[in-house]
Structure formats: C-alpha cells, structure tokens
Amino acid sequence: MNSTPKETIIKTNFGKINGEDIHLFTLTNKAGNQVSITNYGGIVTQWISADKNGKMSSIVLGFNELEKYVLDNPHFGALVGRYANRIAKGKFAIGNKEYTLATNNGENHIHGGIHNFSKVTWSAAIDEVSHALVLSYLSKDGEEGYPGNLSVTVRYRFTDDNELIIDYAAETDKTTVLNLTNHCYFNLTGDVNNKVTDHTIQINASHYTPVNEHQIPTGVIASVAGTPYDFTTAEKIGTRINETDGGYDHNYVIDNPSVKKATAIVTEESSGRKLEVYTDQPGIQFYTGNSLDGSHHTNDGQAITRQSAFCLETQHFPDSPNQPSFPSTLLHPGEKYHTITKYRLTTAQR
C-alpha cells in the first residue's frame, strides 16, 4: 500500500450568509502542510506548518468560525479591493469625471470601502490539474462608487515547496482604478503572545513613500537611509520601532520587483521559520498591527493585541489615483490586469 502523502484540496461547509452556503477549502501539500481558504472574502484562515521542533501551528491569524469574519475585523487574511490601502478623502478623478467613495478610515477611503472584496462571496472552483483554488467575482459598475463592471479571478495555489502563490487577474468594461492584495497577518511563532518585534526583517527597498498625519502619501519618494524605515539589511522589527509614529504602516518602493527575487525576508529564531515574499508589484506595505487592541481573540481565546502580528501587503502605492508621479493604477477596457505574489515558508532543521 502506498502511504506517500498526496496533494489534496478538501471542500467543507463553513456556514451560511443570507441563506447562501459558504465553504472552506483546505489545500494540503505532500509534506502535510495546510492552507485553508474560504470563498467568503477569499480569506486565508490558517497556514499550518511545523516549526524546527516539529510543533504544528498556524503562522497566520484567523478564526474557525465564519461569524467572526462577518463581524468587523481588521481584514484578517482577506482579499481586499477594489483598491487596497488608502485613497485620500475618498475621491479620485478619471479624466474630467470625479468619483466619490466611502470614507471608512477617518476622512479617507481604505481597502475598497464598506462592502469591499473581503465582505463578498466569491464563486469557487477547484482546478485539479494545477492543484489550485480559483475564486471569481463580478464587481458591478458603481459598486462602492467605483466605475466599470470588473471581472476578477484569483487563483490560490499551495505547492510542495510550501509556497502560497496568489495569482490575480481582472478585466473591466469601463476605465477604473484597481489595486488588489491579500491581507494576511503573520506571526511566525504561531503564538500571538509573542510580539513580532522580535522577528527579524529585511525589505529590499531603498525608498519609501512618507505619509501625512492621515497616512496619506505626501507624493515624495524618499530614501530610507538614515531613517527607522531602513530594512535594506536585516534587523529586528523592534529595534527602531519606537522612533516611528506608533509603529510601521508604510509603503516601500521595491527595488527591482520580481517573482524570482525575494522582496522581503522575515525570520524568527525560536521557531526556525523564514518567510519570503516575492512580487511583481511596485510596492509593499509593511504593517505591524498597531491597531490591534485585544478586542479580537484567537480560536483558543488569546487576545490579539498590538504588534502581535505583521502584514506584508504587495500592492501599488497608496493614493496613486491622486498622485500623478506614482505608477498608474488605471485599468482600461481591453486591458488585462495580472499580478502574482508568492509567500514561501521554510523552516531550519534542528
């Protein structure tokens, strides 16, 4: 009898929303590591892998109950869009036409609005050939204030090399703006009681986009040299975090973005885990969970508090629709939006 582990995708019920069945898809690779994703919000609910001591735990924050995602939460594990990150005062123009969006982050718009992509049910299919979960959604013209009927497809693939590959594609019938990302919160120890300030990070970005008091870019692309935002060489997240205004929540301008060269590398000594992020996007938002206030709890009841997780959101720059010097986020009819992000997890041998 052949007992060799086999790649699988298992579909299970995850609850109902407005009478509609929601499912959880668990992708298992040949090493027995697992990533679970629900078609509600395209949310990654867990990524289970062994640490250097053989202990299995999830390196992403998430819940085992659908209801906790339906209630307000800080986009744990979710697909966000149409526009990830912030748009100043919820307004932008395409040509002579101005569009108005929800202001759901103080006076600004964030992550696509109130009923954004993390709050919708995606159609789901399993691609047995490429061992991928394929999610699709039609965002209708005017949804959350955005123009155009936007057809979006996101493929999640989990490889035997412990890589979570996210492939985004979209088309529109009217010129619109688009900036998609995944909002996983990581803690490589698998325990939110361990602050991520002890993780070590390197970000291959020699520039970043400074922000004003409302977290909106000033329009300047500045050097990280001599600032607490310089992670061009690896150092602990907490080394200079107190020199920032409440923690890291900044967009880094990636040096030579490529899915073949790591943009960011995070290591954690006690677990032996290393997370590498690869992307073809021009930016990556490094966020240290500054707003986590203990109001959410893990499945085993632990409070999720400030700096108990970090995010590395691959993206275009915040407020690009209002910043002509930033790379454009316009998508025109007849064009195909396509971008790939890869998260690769390895573990040191004991």
Spatial separation of the C-alpha atoms in residues 34 and 158, rounded to whole Å: 8
Residue 334, Cβ density class (10 Å: 0-12 exposed, 13-18 middle, ≥19 buried): exposed
Dig out the tokens for 17 from the structure: 């929303």
Rounded to the nearest 5 percent, the helix, strand and coil shares of the chain are: 5, 45, 50
CB distance 42 to 118 below 8 Å: yes
DSSP letters spanning 121-157:
BPEEEEETTTTEEEEEEEE-TTGGG--S-EEEEEEEE
Amino acid (1-letter code) at residue 108: N
If you search the block for the tokens 């992020």, which residue do you land on?
Answer: 277
Determine which one of 143, 171, 276, 313 is catalytic.
Answer: 313
C-alpha of 228 from chain center = 23
Long-range residue pairs from 291-297, CB within 8 A, at least 24 positions apart, any chain: 291/74, 292/74, 296/68, 296/73, 296/74, 296/76
Determine which one of 75, 183, 250, 296 is catalytic.
Answer: 183
Amino acid (1-letter code) at residue 52: K
In the annotation, is 313 catalytic?
yes
DSSP letters spanning 36-98:
EEETBTTEEEEEEEE-TTS-EEESB---S-HHHHHS--S-TTEEE-SB-SEEGGGEEEETTEE
Dig out the tokens for 80 from the structure: 């966000």
Q: Beta-carbon neighbour count of residue 32 at 10 Å?
A: 11
Residue 299, Cβ density class (10 Å: 0-12 exposed, 13-18 middle, ≥19 buried): middle
In the annotation, is 183 catalytic?
yes
Spatial separation of the C-alpha atoms in residues 334 and 172, rounded to whole Å: 7
* Residues marked as catalytic: 183, 313
